[in-house]
Structure 1
Amino acid sequence: MSQPSFLITLTAKENNSNNVTIAFTMGVKALEKGHETAIMLLSDAVHLAKKGYADSIDIGAPFSPVKDLLTKFLEKGGQLKVCSSCMEHNGISKDDNLLENIEIITADDVIDYITNAKSTLQLNS
């Protein structure tokens, strides 16, 4: 996958459903504005790479449920980049039921994506 011009870093899972919702809401909006966009899942956020994990995250109006936002984000060409070390630390493997079209990346990749992105939004819990 290519270098995004707009990069969102996310470290939360359902423990901070506001940040998860904001990350995917802004990701969808950035894609609608024509920006090549990626959400990088770090720390606890790597759980969101598992199929069905985000299905119950819904903070209510005016925001859409994360399940819908995630689907829209991927359908519009958004990239999900998932830290491999964070996966290992959280007991998640490539053999788990992961979302399709994710990119599993290394710590070196994390640094490169952050430093080369035109703009970033960091949502850390």
Structure 2
Amino acid sequence: MANNTDYRTDYVGTLFDNAESNPSKITLAFTMAGKALEQGHSASVILMVDAVHLALPNALDNVDIGAPFKPAKELLEAFIDKGGNVLVCGACMEHNRIEDTAIDTRFTKISGDDVVALLMHAKGSLQLN
């Protein structure tokens, strides 16, 4: 992992879809990751496949599936404010032609090895694919 070689986090959510394909999965990913933080666990959300487009600044601005869920941007901001990590698959970024400099500076680019290590050390995970 860039800037961090500790692959230990209690909860890992993996997200594969972008805002156009399935906004419900995006909302659920950040809702559940936020719940993990509220319960005192460390939490990370990994953006993979088409979800790497969500790493672009303001990508969640218009994602709102309605009650009882909060808008995705609000969920993301709360998740980050409470110490959650958003991680982005580097190979998926390359495949989707997204440059490192284009992603939100609060997010961390990771490798496939990092993904495996995070999942293997997590106490629990939720895969939204």
Aligned to 1:109: 114
1:91 maps to a residue whose letter is R
> How far off its partner does 1:37 sit?
0.2
For residues 65-80 of structure 1, the aligned pairs below 5 Å read: 65-80=71-86
Question: What percent identity do the matched residue pairs reach?
Answer: 44
**Secondary structure at the residue paired with 2:45?**
strand
Aligned to 1:118: 123
Normalised by the size of structure 2, how large is the TM-score? Answer: 0.91
More divergent stretch after superposition (101-110 vs 64-73): 101-110
> How far off its partner does 1:101 sit?
2.5
Aligned to 1:12: 17
More helix by share: 1
Runs of 4+ in 1 over 4 A off after TM superposition: none
Normalised by the size of structure 1, how large is the TM-score? Answer: 0.94
For residues 38-57 of structure 1, the aligned pairs below 5 Å read: 38-57=44-63
**Secondary structure at the residue paired with 2:22?**
helix
For residues 67-106 of structure 1, the aligned pairs below 5 Å read: 67-96=73-102, 98-106=103-111
- Report whether the alignment pairs 1:64 with 2:63: no
> How far off its partner does 1:91 sit?
1.3
Unaligned runs of 5+ in 1: none
2:76 maps to a residue whose letter is L
**Secondary structure at the residue paired with 1:57?**
coil
Alpha-carbon separation, structure 2, partners of 1:115 and 1:92: 27
Q: CA RMSD in A?
A: 0.9
**Secondary structure at the residue paired with 1:82?**
strand
